[in-house]
Amino acid sequence: MSTPNSRASDKKASDALSDRLCATPAAGSEADRFRDADDRLKALSDEVIQAIRADVDGGMPPDIATVLECWCLLHETKPASVAGCIKLAEDPAEFKLVGLSTLGYLEPNDLAAIQTRTEGLDPGSARNRPFAGAQAAAAMLEWLQAALALRRWADQTRQTAT
């Protein structure tokens, strides 16, 4: 038979484990940055998303091409390519159907590739590129960088809690 003290102790241990496993903050700079980026991405109109498909033959800035390839990795579309992302953009609702948990389903090498390829890119610069899909690409880049930052924060928090 459990005593009230052992039940309280069990609950405390269970809560501590839950806190370690569910380390996504309700507040904080990483969480706020992610929520803002997620809201901007989800608010993009179908036309803005489909603008990615325009002007492909006219030359695409390299940073925007990198973002589109990383978006393919996020959606597990392989090989990751501009053409693959353009195909994804045919269905804007599906294109924007991403969440923080999406990163958890990726192969570790794909996650690392997204991290490495996006860390030096600037959403502001991408937004100002002379490319029809620049607004969408900038929102995608902001989302990727914010999601990766929040994931790093959660991983670090879990490690320090154990």
Q: 77-116, pLDDT tens digit by residue?
A: 999 999 999 999 999 999 999 999 999 999 999 999 999 9
- pLDDT exceeds 50 at position 23: no
Contacts of 122 (CB under 8 A, 6+ apart): 63
Question: Could you list the residue range(s) of the whole structural domain that residue 89 is in?
Answer: 41-156
Average pLDDT (71-75) is 97
64 contacts 126 by C-beta, under 8 angstroms: yes
- DSSP one-letter code for 56: S
141 contacts 4 by C-beta, under 8 angstroms: no
pLDDT of residue 1: 54
> Of 35 and 3, which is predicted with more confidence?
35
Q: Quote the number of domains for the chain.
A: 1
Query: Measured between alpha carbons, how far apart are the two ends of the chain, in Å?
Result: 30
Asked whether residue 84 is assigned to any structural domain, the reply reads yes
Asked whether residue 120 is assigned to any structural domain, the reply reads yes
pLDDT of residue 18: 45
pLDDT tier at 28 (50, 70, 90 boundaries)?
confident
> Of 24 and 70, which is predicted with more confidence?
70
Asked whether residue 54 is assigned to any structural domain, the reply reads yes
Asked whether residue 111 is assigned to any structural domain, the reply reads yes
Asked whether residue 8 is assigned to any structural domain, the reply reads no
Lowest mean pLDDT across 4-8, 80-84, 85-89, 120-124:
4-8
Asked whether residue 144 is assigned to any structural domain, the reply reads yes
Asked whether residue 31 is assigned to any structural domain, the reply reads no
pLDDT of residue 11: 56
